[in-house]
Amino acid sequence: MSSNIRIETRDLCKGFATKAGRLEVLDSTDLIVRDGEFVSILGPSGCGKSTLLSVLSGIELPDSGTVKVDGLPPAEAVRRASWMPQLDSLFPWRTVAANVALGFEVAGRIGRAAARRRATRLLEDFGLEQFADMHPHQLSGGMRQRVALARTVAQQRDILLLDEPFGALDALTRTELQLWTEQIWERERWTVLLITHDVREAILLSDRIYVLSSRPASVKLELEVNLERPRSIATLSDPRFSSLEAKLLASLGLGAPETS
């Protein structure tokens, strides 16, 4: 794995003014993501995981600390990364194919006709080809998230910031997309920072996992996932997988503390 750092935060602090007073969200949060690495972030609900992605994408400014994407402040690196928020943000007047094609159009390298052709092929990878001419209001929440993920991938940027992209999916579809993501990541080697509440998802997909504390969040645990790739459904039954799961659950306060 490359030692080239693509994403870095040092002593990152971020808060918001509210009617009740100052709300501190991130407190001296340090993390790195290297080139071609898949990193996940776990933490309690409301601890600031999505705020972290907002800062990395340039939507929010840090209060203090250092934040860099490819060595640049996020506002200067907006075309280096694709961000998929929790809400799908699909355009209701566009069909599924046209929404996905927008990702290719945003990349600014091809025309609309070529973008539509590429979108059609990408929809096949996501199992969405039969929905190509439908509009978002005709889809389930899970299907909308799949379309949104396809549109994110279509932007052709090799840094992906994913905010719980599989959270709205049913268990079977979520597992299928997790395994697909593992396969396509092996081929493309994107640099990925994934926000998730799913401990098993984090282990299945990641090279490293950060666990954040309650708000104001800092890093409680950084865990290497030393499981061979490519990973498959069989990985879930590996004893090492269970050991990693126990460590993460203990760090999240959901299991017995590790004694070793």
Q: What is the pLDDT of residue 28?
A: 92
Q: Which residues of the chain have pLDDT under 50?
A: 257-260
- Which CATH class name applies to 1-80+159-260? alpha beta
Can you tell me the distance from the alpha carbon of 78 to that of 10, in angstroms, rounded to the nearest whole number? 19
- For the chain, the domains span 1-80+159-260, 86-156
* pTM for this model (two decimals): 0.86
For 127-154, give one letter per residue: b (16+ CB within 10 A) or e: ebeebbeebbeebeebbbbbbbbbbbbb
Q: What is the pLDDT of residue 260?
A: 45
Please state at what angle helix 141-154 crosses helix 112-125, rounded to 10 degrees: 130
**Closest of 73, 75, 55, 56 to residue 14, by C-alpha:** 55
